[in-house]
Amino acid sequence: MRAIQMVDLKQQYAKIKNEVDAAVHEVIDSAAFINGKAVTDFSTSLSKYLGIKHVIPCANGTDALQISMMALGLQPGDEVITPSFTYVATTEVVALLRLKPVFVEVDQETFCIDPAAIEKAITPKTKAIVPVHLYGQAAPMEEIMQIAKKHNLFVIEDNAQAIGSSYTYKDGTVKKTGTIGTIGTTSFFPSKNLGCYGDGGAIFTNDDALAGLLKMVANHGQSKRYYHDVVGCNSRLDSMQAAVLNVKLKKLDEYISARRSAADYYDNTFAGHPKITTPKRASYSHHVFHQYTLILEGVDRDKLNEYLASKNIPSMIYYPVPAHKQKMFAEFGGGSYQLSVTDWLTERVISLPMHTELDEEQLKYITSSVLEFVNNN
Ligand SMILES: *Cc1c(COP(=O)(O)O)cnc(C)c1O
């Protein structure tokens, strides 16, 4: 059996090596390392894939969030509502810009932000909501957009874990995640569902004026060469990364299918187990399984993690410490939050290997090892 990885990028590369190598060499031959043709080609292809007017590439998914908040003109002290149960980048940029992060609960079954909790957290200072499509599942966007409209708030969708996922409205309309809010952001970190071979990110919007501002902020606030209208930053996707992404974007739907098949295998094997809750697939969400995350009850989750490691099976806890308990946010009153669902989840979740290259032999070995531990402890 091939060694099991949390994400098997080597094996994935082996299948696209010729195409990737040729694309990267083309960039080197052209010497257009920054803002080259590969970057504009990629932006065009991705906007077509997503069905969005503007794709603004940038250096990583964290920058994408920061640039979005800068372009929206958020001011120090403005409140931004985010889930506490997320990767630190979502909440960190809020604090970095001296905005005030306001942490709310997620739904225990979908892991995504709870609309009722958003409503309760709104104050006159609230300016934006940042839903996260966690683990590849779409957040309940229709409800979130209704709340945003009612209270005149911006919505920035953190789509770093869910590119290619979609949301189905009650009337049957289907939209890709990241294209529903005021702005969508994503990351092309290598292990993401659409990953490059270094760092990368992008910002999406249908608003022409906002797209202009986002581009300007990402490029030193420049309106035309050497004329800088606003304070911005320097955040670029380089041509070599774009060249890799051009190859991988064509495979994205195939990659998503492979992830969903692995998830099906896991689901079927663990179905009905009294101690294991498999990830819910919300009816409105096309789950793209960035992570496959179980909730365990009556099982020592950390011991299972060690047991699997002893059998050469990696597993991860995403995330052991929610934002409201991070030292980083002490000055924002992090310690005073009572988020019982989030705390409950952080003690019980475990993510199993999930990638495009898992084969049946590996899945069988992983699931039987999990069951062996769970049934005997
Ligand atoms: C990965 C990730 C980011 C940040 O992306 P980087 O490219 O690593 O900066 C932001 N939000 C979420 C939810 C992520 O998973």
Task: Give the residues surrounding ligand 1 with Cβ less than 6 Å away.
Answer: 60-62, 86-87, 89-90, 132, 158, 160-161, 187, 189, 199, 201
Ligand 1 pocket mutation pick from 187, 241, 316 by most atoms within 8 angstroms of CB: 187
Q: Would you state the structure tokens that stand for residue 345, as one six-digit string?
A: 């989840």
Sheet of 349-352, strand order: 276-277, 292-296, 349-352
- Rounded Cα distance between 149 and 143, Å, is 10
Ligand 1 pocket mutation pick from 65, 189, 197, 293 by most atoms within 8 angstroms of CB: 189
The reply to whether the predicted model has a pTM over 0.95 is yes
Residue 201 alpha carbon, nearest atom of ligand 1: 7
The CATH code for residues 252-376 is 3.90.1150.10
Task: Tell how far the Cα of 188 is from the centroid of ligand 1, in angstroms.
Answer: 8
State the pLDDT at residue 351.
98
Identify whether 226 is preceded by a cis peptide bond (ω within 30 of 0): no
The full set of domain ranges for the chain reads 9-104+111-249, 252-376
- By alpha-carbon position, which residue is closest to atom 5 of ligand 1? 61
State the pLDDT at residue 109.
97
Report how far apart the first and last C-alpha atoms of the chain are (Å, whole number).
27
State the pLDDT at residue 318.
97
- Rounded Cα distance between 287 and 17, Å, is 28
- Rounded Cα distance between 252 and 175, Å, is 16
Distances (CA, A) of 184 to 34, 41, 246, 292: 23, 19, 20, 23
State the pLDDT at residue 28.
98
Average pLDDT over residues 59-86: 98
State the pLDDT at residue 81.
98
- Rounded Cα distance between 186 and 193, Å, is 10
Class of the domain covering 9-104+111-249: alpha beta
Task: Tell how far the Cα of 281 is from the centroid of ligand 1, in angstroms.
Answer: 22
Listed in sequence order, the residues at least 6 apart from 340 whose beta carbon sits closer than 8 Å to its beta carbon are: 105
pLDDT bracket for residue 195 (50, 70, 90): very high
For 155, other C-beta atoms within 10 Å of its C-beta total 21
pLDDT in tens, 210-228: 999 999 999 999 999 999 9
Directed axis angle between helix 9-30 and helix 37-50, to 10°? 130
Residue 90 alpha carbon, nearest atom of ligand 1: 11
Q: What is the mean pLDDT of the chain?
A: 97
pLDDT in tens, 122-181: 999 999 999 999 999 999 999 999 999 999 999 999 999 999 999 999 999 999 999 999
Residue type, 109: E
What percent of the chain stands above pLDDT 90? 99
Task: Tell how far the Cα of 163 is from the centroid of ligand 1, in angstroms.
Answer: 12
